[in-house]
Amino acid sequence: MKPSIIALSAIIAAVGIVGMKKPDYVRNMVQSFSPVGENGSALPLGQPQLQPSLRAAEEKPPIFQEIKRPSQPPLDTVVTAATASEVDESALRYFASQGDAARLQAEISRLKALYPDWTPPKDPLAIPPNEDKQLETMWQLYSQARYAEVRKAIAERQAADPAWQPPADLLERLSVAEARLRLINASDLKQYETVVRIGAQTTSLLTCSEVDVLWRVAEALFRTGKSQRATDAYTYILSNCQNPAERLATIQKAADLLPSKTVEELLTKEKTAPDGKPEFDSIRDELARRFIAEANADGKIIVPPQYVSRVERLAETGGLASDALLLGWYHLPRGDMEAAEKWFRRARDKEDSASASQGLALTLIDRNMPLEAENVLYRWRDASKEAKAVYLAATTNLLAVDPPIPITAEVLKRIATEVIKSRDAATAQQFGWYARALNQPQTAVQWFKTALGWKLDDEPSAYGLAITYLQLNDMKGVSEIQHLWAGRSERIAKLGEEEKEPETVRKRLPHAEETVTTQNGARPAARIDAVSKEPRGYARPETAARPRQRRSAVTVRGCRTTINPQTLSPDAALARGWCLMELNRPVEAAAAFEVGLLGASAKTREDAAYGQSLAYLRSGLASKAAVAAVKAPQNRQRALELQTAILADKAVAAFDAGRPRETLLALDQLKQITPERTDLMALRGYAYLKLKRYGDARRVFEALAAIGNTDGQRGVAIIHEMFHGND
């Protein structure tokens, strides 16, 4: 018995509200679960803990049933006047007069524990009722839980008869009952500190016969940040209390609060039920499901294999789609794509759902089967933000497949519709490359422009646009792009100079570019003509969360697995950062570059700082990009490039946020270091417009219109209309 008592005492001692007398406490503990009776005395303190409980389990009455369903322990002892006179038997008499055998038996056990020398009456139900009618009434009120009225009755009697003292037993029971009521009320009101305080002050409540109180105290301990002590309380119940239903409920309640690892430890207290089955068997299925679900939310959690196989068995035999789904989502982040696919397929076969299709699409993307992925998920694309993100990942990858695969006109059309609806720059860009591969340069131009409209800093699209202009012999178009990207893209700048691209830049290139530019041969395929109009305005590119794992399945396989970059060398982390950038996973890339910043060589550090700035820019975090840029000295060219991108981003962000003054400030700063791009000039025009600086706006728009810029023409038209309207 010792370990548990010590454990629970520790709970209480640690709570430390009241100092208590250990013997009383221990006696209460013992009394609460021991089938006191046969030898007429409470269990001695040193007796091993499990003994009474085991005995009670083997024989009949488990303790708390003592109250509900009394057994008939032998009562063949004789009342001796000497002891009886010292023992307050008024409660006994009351319960006897009521014929309340359960309470009567509990009271006998209690008195025997308190007074080892006392021997109970031979026929308890024949005990003469209390002579004292008032006291009888008090016991009656007590048994009806009308405690306030008991208190009132005592006070009234004392006022009438100052010499009268209420039985100590009544007072003690009353105060314990009140404490119990307060504890339950406080627990219902989530006043957990009060619950812990009352529990600490009323240790006689912390017994197996009050398992509900124990549960409430355990929860209160957990809610007040004492989860170890909460665990101790659940352990105490499982070590000492015998009622099977309550034991089962204890595990369920613990599992609601405590992590699976702790619950696993509690489960070691499992016993074998009379029918030979482990007593917690019936809830292990539910627990296994809960553990897996918990692990799905956190990829670091390792679930003991027996629970995984339990759910597998359930999924195989039970036929619930939800079990198969649990397994799919369990295996997916752990990299077991084959298993994940199997379970997602099974879930889908049972019942198609957004979640199952989304999971299956991810595994298909991973297997380089984006066409199938698109097909699986199309129906569910609008089910959630995540489903949409996975769908767009599938379309991006589908169009990037090398060599391009034939796609039916119907599918291409529906993809294009979705891309435009979602303003998805990544797929738009791939449409551009796809169109080029199919030798449809005009269409490619439209798509690259569309992508740039949604994502101003999308260098690959700009590059794609420029080489397509080159292909179309549109030298004016080429030079406009080169002007816009001056200082920001070496390969755009060098376009037309020579065929070969410098090695250093290649690292940042999108995977599709290499494949598609070499695919100039015309291929019969559907026309891509879904882009009906150019996007307008300055909406920021969407940074919708992409499924992290399977963004691309095409050319780069070096960084798809999730690795903590901290474990890599700076050079390896740097390489991984560029790789992640190619997969358009800038958040992870930024983390990888952070490790690269620790590199020994100045070159590595510079590259890492540069990469991190680009990564932050792509994530829409211009201010972080600015910080990253100064983490290592950059060469002039790159410094300029970064600063330009950062300021441009700031200007757009400020405009979007309705702060045109800040937009102008950023644009002015930008003008100091580089000639103003036409798109930013247009932005300037709109900023003036917002500030009602119509003269300035008109000047800017007219200049733009003069070089054939559509934004400029539109701006001029707007101003014209405004002033016509006013005249």
Partner 1 sequence: MEKLLAALLAGIVTLCLQAPPAEAQQPMISTEAWQAYKTKFLDPGGRIIDDGNGNISHSEGQGYGLLLSVLAGSPADFELIWTFTRTELVLRNDGLAAWKWSPGAKPHVTDVNNATDGDILIAYALGLAGQQWGRRDYTAAGAAIASAILAKTVVEEGGRTLLLPGAMGFSAGDRRDGPVINPSYWVFEAFPVLDQLAPSPAWGKLRSDGIAFVDELRFGPKQLPADWISLKPDPRPASGFPAEYGYNALRIPLYLVRGAVTDRQLLSRFRQSTSGASGAITIVDLSSGATRSNLTDPGYRIVNHILACVVDKTALPADVKQFTPTLYYPSTLHLLGLSFVAEKHPECL
Decide if residue 134 touches partner 1 (CB under 8 A).
Answer: no
**CB of 200 vs partner 1, minimal distance in Å:** 14
Written as six digits, the tokens of 108 are: 């006998």
Piece of the chain touching partner 1 by CB under 8 A; list 188-196, 370-378, 388-396, 581-589: 188-196
Number of residues that bind partner 1 (CB under 8 A): 23
Nearer to partner 1, 193 or 316 (CB): 193
**CB of 178 vs partner 1, minimal distance in Å:** 5
Nearer to partner 1, 195 or 254 (CB): 195
**CB of 186 vs partner 1, minimal distance in Å:** 4
Nearer to partner 1, 183 or 444 (CB): 183
SS3 74: coil
Written as six digits, the tokens of 246 are: 């309550």
H or E segment to which residue 377 belongs: helix 370-378
Decide if residue 25 touches partner 1 (CB under 8 A).
Answer: no
Nearer to partner 1, 185 or 520 (CB): 185
As a whole number of angstroms, the distance between CA 649 and CA 455 comes to: 10
Pick out residues in 165-184 that bind partner 1 (CB under 8 A).
178, 181-182
685-709 b/e (C-beta count within 10 Å ≥ 16 → b):
bbbbbbeebeebbbebbeebbeeeb
Closest CA to 138 of 182, 89, 183, 171: 171
Angle, alpha carbons 549-555-561 (nearest 5°): 25
Nearer to partner 1, 174 or 315 (CB): 174
**CB of 150 vs partner 1, minimal distance in Å:** 8
**CB of 174 vs partner 1, minimal distance in Å:** 9
Piece of the chain touching partner 1 by CB under 8 A; list 12-20, 189-197, 467-475, 632-640: 189-197
**CB of 167 vs partner 1, minimal distance in Å:** 17
Closest CA to 253 of 285, 212, 224: 212
Nearer to partner 1, 189 or 545 (CB): 189
Q: In the 8-state DSSP scheme, what is residue 545? A: P
Given candidates 192, 215, 380, 610, which one binds partner 1 under the rule CB under 8 A? 192
**CB of 75 vs partner 1, minimal distance in Å:** 36
Nearer to partner 1, 146 or 271 (CB): 146
Written as six digits, the tokens of 442 are: 């005009």
**CB of 155 vs partner 1, minimal distance in Å:** 4
Nearer to partner 1, 186 or 387 (CB): 186
Q: What are phi and psi of 116, to 5 degrees?
A: -55, -30
Written as six digits, the tokens of 699 are: 């000047």
Angle, alpha carbons 339-341-342 (nearest 5°): 65
**Between 60 and 99, how does the x/- string for binding to partner 1 read (CB under 8 A)?**
----------------------------------------
Decide if residue 188 touches partner 1 (CB under 8 A).
Answer: yes
Nearer to partner 1, 57 or 179 (CB): 179
Given candidates 80, 185, 272, 520, which one binds partner 1 under the rule CB under 8 A? 185
Task: With beta carbons less than 8 A apart as the criterion, state whether 614 and 646 touch.
Answer: no
Distance of CA 222 to the CA centre of its chain: 20
Task: With beta carbons less than 8 A apart as the criterion, state whether 530 and 417 touch.
Answer: yes
**DSSP secondary structure of 629-645:** HTSS---HHHHHHHHHH
Pick out residues in 250-279 that bind partner 1 (CB under 8 A).
none
Nearer to partner 1, 24 or 188 (CB): 188
Task: With beta carbons less than 8 A apart as the criterion, state whether 491 and 484 touch.
Answer: no
**Between 142 and 161, how does the x/- string for binding to partner 1 read (CB under 8 A)?**
----xxxx-xxxxxx--x--
Pick out residues in 469-508 that bind partner 1 (CB under 8 A).
none
Nearer to partner 1, 192 or 222 (CB): 192
Crossing angle (nearest 10°) for helices 694-706 and 678-690:
160
As a whole number of angstroms, the distance between CA 566 and CA 564 comes to: 5
Task: With beta carbons less than 8 A apart as the criterion, state whether 487 and 641 touch.
Answer: yes
Written as six digits, the tokens of 20 are: 């208590």
Residues in touch with partner 1 (CB under 8 A): 146-149, 151-156, 159, 178, 181-182, 185-186, 188-194
